[in-house]
């Protein structure tokens, strides 16, 4: 195979699936643009971005040495990468309280007593 990772080529879209688009690089070689590599950001419907028969410029991002499958990307050729919006991390508890394991330490004796009662009830019911 004469193709190298990082090469920029022009190919033709030969098939579109929900997971990606197949691109013919020459008469004997095909590669796949995974849906995550079609464009920056989220792609809901790949068929709205590429069509069968369309000429596309792609970059080779991986070649599997064993199977000779070629992974392609259009996203790496974009002028500006669109970063997904930042989401503030939300905590289940109020992290300012700084209680740590204190609540577990207080509750542990209660849990132990409950477990002992449950075990003693199950032992007495089994012995009858």
Q: Which residues pair with 58 in a beta bridge?
A: 9
Ordered by start, the domain boundaries in the chain are 8-77
Maximum Cα–Cα distance across the chain: 80
Q: Residue 20: pLDDT above 90?
A: yes
Q: What is the pLDDT of residue 127?
A: 64
Q: What CATH topology corresponds to 8-77?
A: OB fold (Dihydrolipoamide Acetyltransferase, E2P) (2.40.50)
Residue 20 sits at φ, ψ, to 5 deg, of 170, -175
Q: What is the pLDDT of residues 62-109, one digit of tens each?
A: 999 888 899 999 998 887 755 556 666 665 656 666 666 667 788 889
| pLDDT of 105 | 80
> How far apart (Å, rounded) are the C-alpha atoms in residues 102 and 67?
55
- Give per-residue burial for 8-31: e unless 16+ CB within 10 Å, then b: ebebebeebeeebbbbebeeeebb
The strand pair at 70-73 and 30-34 is best described as: parallel
| pLDDT tier for residue 47 given thresholds of 50, 70 and 90 | very high
pTM listed for this prediction: 0.60
């Amino acid at each position: 195979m004469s193709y190298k990772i990082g090469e920029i080529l022009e190919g033709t879209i030969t098939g579109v699936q929900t997971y990606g688009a197949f691109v013919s690089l020459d008469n004997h070689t095909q590669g796949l643009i995974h849906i995550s590599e079609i464009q920056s950001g989220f792609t809901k419907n790949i068929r709205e971005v590429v069509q069968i028969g369309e000429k596309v410029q792609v970059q080779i991002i991986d070649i599997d040495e064993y199977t000779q499958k070629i992974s392609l990307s259009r996203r790496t050729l974009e002028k500006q990468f669109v970063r997904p919006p930042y989401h503030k991390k939300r905590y289940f508890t109020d992290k300012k309280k700084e209680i740590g394991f204190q609540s577990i330490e207080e509750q542990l004796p209660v849990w132990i007593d409950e477990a002992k009662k449950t075990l003693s009830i199950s032992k007495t019911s089994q012995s009858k």
